[in-house]
Amino acid sequence: MTIVEGLPSNLAVEAGDIDRELSRRQAGYGRGERMQIEKDEVEILSGVRFGKTMGGPVAMLLRNLDWPNWRGKMAQTGDGAGIEPLDTARPGHADLGGVLKYDHHDVRAVLERASARETAARVMAGAVAKRFLRELGVAIAGHVLSIGEFHVPPALEGSFDAAASSEGKPLRMADAGTEERVARWIDKVKEAGTTAGGVVEVVAKGVPPGLGSYVAWDRRLDGRFGQALMSIPAIKGVEIGGGVSLSSLPGSDVHDEVFPGPGPGEPLLGKHALPFHRVTNRAGGLEGGMTNGAPVVVRAAMKPIPTQSLPLRTIRIGKWEPTTAHRERSDVCAVPAASVVAEAMVAIVLADAFLEKFGGDAMRDLLYNYSGYLRRICGE
Ligand SMILES: Cc1cc2nc3c(=O)[nH]c(=O)nc-3n(C[C@H](O)[C@H](O)[C@H](O)COP(=O)(O)O)c2cc1C
């Protein structure tokens, strides 16, 4: 269940939009058997009338079609007699910390809730946020920059068009040659009984300057992107723009100089064009915790999936004897799916920042406030 609260009224919300995002998350070369069991389809339960929000929370339900297969082992009633506890902890997953923290003896009590199945809920909320942003002229696209040691050519980094061109590709990579090599490598990784990670990138264009703030640490938008992206399971690094690579360069090669006039980019919203432009975007569209009018570019690095078909060494919980981890149905590589989840998180953070700045109970008020702001900053 996902509940999206704080949406203005008269925003179009369609199940088709949400289902499309859910099926994007389920696709990708290297996903596991679970994706065949679950064909995700949302049920919108509240907050929408005649296809539009009414101003109240929008509740969305996504059924877990795998649940009937677990009725016995995960029963809500009874004492669990006869159910063999799963007492091995997978290195890299929540199993060990989860049983200790919540006082369980059976890892099953941890692993469904800790599963990245929860990212479907993020994608549902993200679909609504994307729809909201589309009304404001913002477009979001994500793609995979690398899997294992295979990178797309550097020219494709930071490009909205490259990210958008990865749509429908099996690994969400904008370069067909790299994708082919990666697919062959994933097959080998699978054969070897192990898993793969990689780096995803999300680009948002049409974002005005001034979202977020420098006045308090928790309002800095770069920090909010960091938290949102880092909270995706298996994401272990987040970068804004040039990120870590900027630290080894002189400032003159890092900061994006500002030039007068609107420049070659598309106008922000309809006819509004900013009175300045830049030719580089190493800052990834963020300076001082605020958007700066350039496209927002964020990256997230995903570690390889913890569940291995050739299991790693671990301990038996309670007895603390050496053993090997259990093999749960699992993905070999979920980096393409992570790029869809990362898009959702970027959309949620941006939608929040728009609502914070332009407020309004109804879409009409918000659009009016937004166009007033654009008229002011564009000097109209
Ligand atoms: C889209 C997606 C799919 C994932 N699929 C699996 C999977 O099939 N098996 C698995 O062990 N981990 C999978 N993971 C990663 C785990 O959920 C994650 O490593 C685990 O929850 C521990 O959290 P941490 O890696 O952030 O420490 C997936 C992650 C994402 C984002």
- Burial (CB < 10 A; 0-12, 13-18, 19+), residue 350, is buried
Q: Does 20 have pLDDT greater than 90?
A: yes
pLDDT in tens, 197-255: 999 999 999 999 999 999 999 999 999 999 999 999 999 999 999 999 999 999 999 99
**Confidence at residue 360, expressed as pLDDT on a 0 to 100 scale:** 86
Cα of 19 from ligand 1 centre, angstroms: 22
Cα of 333 from ligand 1 centre, angstroms: 10
pLDDT in tens, 242-290: 999 999 999 999 999 999 999 776 777 778 999 999 999 999 999 999 9
Q: Does 34 have pLDDT greater than 70?
A: no
Dist CA 20 CA 9 (whole Å): 23
Residue whose CB lies within 8 A of the most ligand 1 atoms, among 331, 340, 345, for a mutation test: 331
CB atoms within 10 A of CB 5: 9
- Burial (CB < 10 A; 0-12, 13-18, 19+), residue 115, is middle
pLDDT in tens, 56-102: 999 999 998 888 888 899 999 999 999 999 999 999 999 999 999 99
pTM more than 0.95: yes
From the CA of 303, give the closest atom in ligand 1. 25
Residue whose CB lies within 8 A of the most ligand 1 atoms, among 34, 36, 86, 93, for a mutation test: 93
Cα of 332 from ligand 1 centre, angstroms: 10
From the CA of 93, give the closest atom in ligand 1. 22
Site residues for ligand 1, CB cut-off 6 Å:
32, 92-94, 114-116, 119, 232-234, 303, 305-307, 330-331, 334, 337-338, 341
Residue whose CB lies within 8 A of the most ligand 1 atoms, among 21, 23, 115, 202, for a mutation test: 115
CA atoms within 13 A on the CB side of 102: 16
Assign 33 to helix, strand or coil.
Answer: coil
Q: Cite the beta strand spans of the chain per DSSP E.
A: 2-4, 42-46, 48-49, 52-53, 58-62, 139-147, 150-151, 198-205, 235-240, 259-260, 276-277, 286-287, 290-291, 296-302, 313-316, 321-324
Mean pLDDT of 160-167: 98
**Confidence at residue 56, expressed as pLDDT on a 0 to 100 scale:** 97
Q: Output phi, psi for 357, to 5 deg.
A: -85, -35
Residue whose CB lies within 8 A of the most ligand 1 atoms, among 123, 305, 309, 332, for a mutation test: 305
From atom 24 of ligand 1, which residue's Cα is the shortest distance away? 234
Cα of 296 from ligand 1 centre, angstroms: 26
Assign 231 to helix, strand or coil.
Answer: coil
Cα 20-26-338 angle, rounded to 5 deg: 100
